[in-house]
Amino acid sequence: MNFCSECGERVSQKIPEGDNRLRYVCDSCETIHYQNPRVVAGSLPVSGDRVLLCKRAIEPRYGYWTLPAGFMENDETLTEAAARETEEEALAKVENLQLYTVISVPGVDQVHVLMLGDLVDDEYSAGIESLEVELFREDEIPWDQIAFRAVKMTLERYFEDRKKGVFPVYNLDIERW
């Protein structure tokens, strides 16, 4: 950040009065420009003993497999965001979405929120950000080609929890790297 989005003058980094962190502050109008983590919302679409993965058509991690997920937008709920991302990336509908993993990733200033959902009518195909979309049984998952650690952690827990038939909500952290 170089300039104030309100008045267009230069910003500099300083600790505002009453604060204890460096912020971008406008030298002219004194607006403080806070920067905060972003939420990545998505789903783990389930069809019987298979789960839906998308092969990424975009960077980062082009060509690796992921769950349909993306940045939550203003004016939507987490559930709406997870359903929207599933529609956009996998051209699939999910129902009965339930919160599953909440994963803090401080290294990239993100919180990933993934929900279990039932894939509707086994209908899916590659959205514009996906090369392929496929259903995988546990023994078919391309574990060494999973795009993100949050996705891998979620899939690992899912297949363990399936054996018990209980799906708690997890609050997990991915350490800084």
Contact set with Zn ion (CB under 5 A):
4, 6-7, 26, 28-29, 31
Partner whose binding site includes residue 123, from Zn ion, its own copies, none (CB under 5 to 8 Å by kind): none
**Per-residue burial over 77-103, b = 16 or more CB atoms within 10 Å of its CB, e = otherwise:** ebbebbbbbbbebbbbbbeebebbbbb
Contact predicate 43/69, CB 8 Å: yes
Residue 142 touching its own copies (CB under 8 A): no
Give the shortest CB-33-to-its own copies separation in angstroms: 7
**Count of residues near its own copies by CB under 8 A:** 45
Give, as ranges, the residues between 5 and 34 that touch its own copies (CB under 8 A): 5-11, 18, 21, 33-34
Residue 104 touching its own copies (CB under 8 A): yes
Partner whose binding site includes residue 3, from Zn ion, its own copies, none (CB under 5 to 8 Å by kind): its own copies
Concatenated DSSP letters of 66-129: E-SEEEPPTT--HHHHHHHHHHHHH---EEEEEEEEEEEEGGGTEEEEEEEEEESTT-----TT
One of 75, 121, 139, 144 touching its own copies (CB under 8 A): 75
Partner whose binding site includes residue 27, from its own copies, Zn ion, none (CB under 5 to 8 Å by kind): none
For the chain, the 3-state helix, strand and coil shares in percent, each to the nearest 5, are: 20, 40, 40
Judged by the rule CB under 8 A, the positions of this chain that interact with its own copies are 1-11, 18, 21, 33-39, 71-80, 98-99, 102, 104, 106, 109, 111, 113, 115, 128, 168-169, 171, 173, 176
